[in-house]
Structure 1
Amino acid sequence: MTELLNAVLHAHGGLDRWRRFSHLRASIVSGGELWGIKGLVQDPEPRQMTVALHREWASVQPFGSADQKTDFTRDRIAIENLDGRVVRERTNPRESFAGHDLNTPWDALHRAYFNGYALWTYLTTPFLLALPGFVVSEIEPIEENGEKWAGLQARFPTEIASHSTLQEFYFGEDHLLRRHDYRVDVAGGFAAAQYVYDMVETDGFWLPSKRRAYRCDADGRPNLDQLMVSIDLSEIRFV
């Protein structure tokens, strides 16, 4: 574990504290251009997101209708009734994105899978970087708005579903997360830079309550006129 990663984990609440909890729950509201590009309607109603902290699992409800929720793991995505009865499911869901580009429409299970892995990644950052199989190295800092942000690059293990194998995380002088870069492999591999804002303290942890992901140009610069995904979080709690 690098010196920077140690400092980052401490600043966000500490790995020992993280290990005392099993799940995180939050209310989320999502928006952005990606949903329309994919032929989906994204309403502004809050949803309940739950993720496991030490294994890759996530669920959001309601999904599709008030009596439905999702059940996400790396190898399976399902839409279920609240009593657990399966409405629709897909095994090996990553394979269903083969040949997709940014403009390829998504069905409900594509959307559920994307939601599952993306929110699991976001809500467990930066502590997921200490999980077995992650290879983390320090990279050159970047400068934004007169500040210098230290960087970590993570190589995700094959056992973890996420945007891309390589992802970059940038942190301010306080070692709190400022920006997260990745390539969205399930949508043609377009590059994105996600900025995080409005850190809140919950159960001794510091987490961003706002996330804004922008598409990057060919030189890797974020296009702030193309907001692909927005996420607002509230009522964050650990269990």
Structure 2
Amino acid sequence: MSEQNRDLLQQVLIAHGGLERWNRFSTVRASIVTSGSLWGMKGLTQDSTPRQMTVWLHEQRASVMPFGGPDRRTAYTPDRIAIETTDGQVLAERSNPRESFHDHGEMTPWDPLQRAYFNGYALWSYMTMPFLFTLPGVRTEEIAPWEEGNQAWRRLRVHFPEGVATHSPVQDFFFGEDFLLRRHDYRVDISGGMPAAQYVHEYIEADGLRIPGKRRAYRRDEQDRAIETQLLVAIDFSELRYA
């Protein structure tokens, strides 16, 4: 890792609250509201009901509730996805869930367990960024800056090892002059490698740690520009709390 790259990553971590503070906590919870065209593409419906998302900070584990019923929740890890009652009764489960997306295209429908898996790894990623960049095996490099309007955003290209479940092995992250995340580019490998540009806004803070309060993911064109008429996923966060 070059000194320039190390400096950018360290400044990014500090801007989001600092690694030392992050390590004091084990979980984060937030209320989320989700919408966008992706769900319809997958044969699913998505309502505007707020849901409670819980993410474990130092292990790949997450849960959302309610899920498919007021007394149901998900239990996500990379190797297993389950839907269970709030008292722990397993209603459905799948081991090695990533394998179930083999040969999926953009319009391939998802079943409830596939939806739960996507929700689990995606929200775990979003709610642990940028600190997940420090996990063992994750490699970062600074690449050329990106011009967005009249701004120049510095970029980190992040390479994720096979053991980290995420959208795609290589993803780009764009940071403003304040070192806060502005944009996140990736491909949705479990949906035919669909290219996305996700913009983040309106940071919220709890216990000195900061995450974007709004995320808007658009399809990305061949010039890596967001297609603003094709909003894939929108997520609003509130009531952030660490424990």
Query: For this structure pair, what is the TM-score category when the shorter chain's length is used for normalisation?
Result: over 0.9
| 1:125-140 matched pairs, under 5 angstroms | 125-140=129-144
User: What SS does the corresponding residue of 1:191 show, helix, strand or coil?
Assistant: strand
Q: Write out the 4+ residue segments of structure 1 that deviate beyond 6 Å after TM superposition.
A: none
What percentage of residue pairs aligned between the two structures are identical?
A: 59
CA distance in 2, matches of 1:23, 1:58: 9
User: What SS does the corresponding residue of 1:220 show, helix, strand or coil?
Assistant: coil
1:142 to 146, 150, 168: 146
TM-score by length of 2: 0.97
| 1:54-203 matched pairs, under 5 angstroms | 54-203=58-207
Q: Deviations over 1:23-63 (max 9, x none)?
A: 00000000000001100010100000000101110000000
CA distance in 2, matches of 1:218, 1:143: 16
Contact 2:205 2:240 in 1 (8 A): no
TM-score by length of 1: 0.99
Q: 1:219 deviation in Å?
A: 2.6
| 5+ residue gaps, structure 1 | none
User: What SS does the corresponding residue of 1:223 show, helix, strand or coil?
Assistant: strand
CA distance in 1, matches of 2:143, 2:92: 42
User: What SS does the corresponding residue of 1:122 show, helix, strand or coil?
Assistant: helix
User: What SS does the corresponding residue of 2:46 show, helix, strand or coil?
Assistant: coil
| Aligned equivalent of 1:7 | 11
Code of the aligned partner of 2:57: L
CA distance in 1, matches of 2:113, 2:30: 22
CA distance in 2, matches of 1:55, 1:157: 15
The RMSD of aligned alpha carbons is 0.7
Is residue 27 from structure 1 mapped to residue 44 from structure 2 by the alignment?
Answer: no
Contact 2:34 2:233 in 1 (8 A): yes
